[in-house]
Amino acid sequence: MSNILEGKNITKTYESESGNGSLTVLENTSIAIEQGSIVTVVGASGCGKSTLLHILGGLDRPDSGSVYWNSQSIYDMNADALAKFRNHKLGFVFQFHHLLPEFTAIENIMMPALIHGELVDKAHERAMELLEKFGIPGRAEHRPTQLSGGEQQRVAMARALMNSPDLILADEPTGNLDERNTEILLNLLFDLREMEDVSILLITHEKDIANRSDIIYELSKGKLTAR
């Protein structure tokens, strides 16, 4: 299998708010994600896992190091090309679902495709297909406030899959869910490799969750170690 995404020698340092020092959360960190794999990064809260995901997904830039998509540096892209890359090749799922409250579930799911220029009818058909896969087709016309936390996160996951990305980047996607909804969402997430032919990078502090993946990295003191 070839690597679909690689981060090489990534370093990221933040200055303290008081201006009296700095904190290096990533130090010469490297990671590789093979096509078709499920990779998990574990570590304590605040250790830099989300920062790593944001850098790998082109949402933030490292102080040094590079991120490669199929051997092309994503930070060599201009702003428009990088935005198009994120919209078409990547799907993001965060701890907080970030659904737009003024839109229905199906409208939220359709949004990435409409931004990409897809026809409304085709986007609607794809969105309904995803709602069926996630077991909530009857919630299509509900707004986020009318959905449970688990349903909101399923809608967010469907939105991430709208443009049939090659890689899902999931940052603590079950962090705000109860045990039952956590299990439902994780089963759906781990089924996506077969359902949607997608690779997955999962960020979590729950080692029991990580044990279901193909490769586990642990982030500690700025360093990634494969387990």
Which among 220, 195, 198 is positioned nearest to 207, based on CA atoms? 220
Q: What is the pLDDT of residue 65?
A: 93
Q: What is the pLDDT of residue 226?
A: 84
Q: What is the pLDDT of residue 172?
A: 83
Q: Is the pLDDT of residue 95 over 80?
A: no
pTM score: 0.86
Q: Which string of b and e fits 58-80 if b means at least 16 CB within 10 Å? A: beeebeebebbbeeeebeebeee
User: Mean pLDDT throughout 117-127?
Assistant: 90
Q: Is the pLDDT of residue 98 over 90?
A: no
Sheet holding 3-15, edge to edge: 22-34, 3-15, 64-69, 72-73
Q: What is the pLDDT of residue 18?
A: 64
- Indicate the helix (H) or strand (E) that contains 191: helix 179-196
CATH class for the region spanning 3-226? alpha beta
Which of 54-68, 117-131, 169-183 bottoms out in mean pLDDT, i.e. has the lowest?
169-183
102 close to 141: Cβ distance less than 8 angstroms: no
Q: What is the pLDDT of residues 32-52, one digit of tens each?
A: 998 888 899 988 777 788 899
Which among 40, 44, 120, 33 is positioned nearest to 68, based on CA atoms? 33
Task: Compute the distance between CA of residue 186 and CA of residue 22 in angstroms, rounded to an integer.
Answer: 36
Task: Compute the distance between CA of residue 170 and CA of residue 33 in angstroms, rounded to an integer.
Answer: 14
The domain ranges of the chain are: 3-226
Task: Compute the distance between CA of residue 167 and CA of residue 161 in angstroms, rounded to an integer.
Answer: 9
Q: Is the pLDDT of residue 158 over 80?
A: yes
Task: Compute the distance between CA of residue 48 and CA of residue 29 in angstroms, rounded to an integer.
Answer: 11
- The residue length of the chain stands at 227
Is residue 64 very low, low, confident or very high in pLDDT (cuts 50, 70, 90)?
Answer: very high
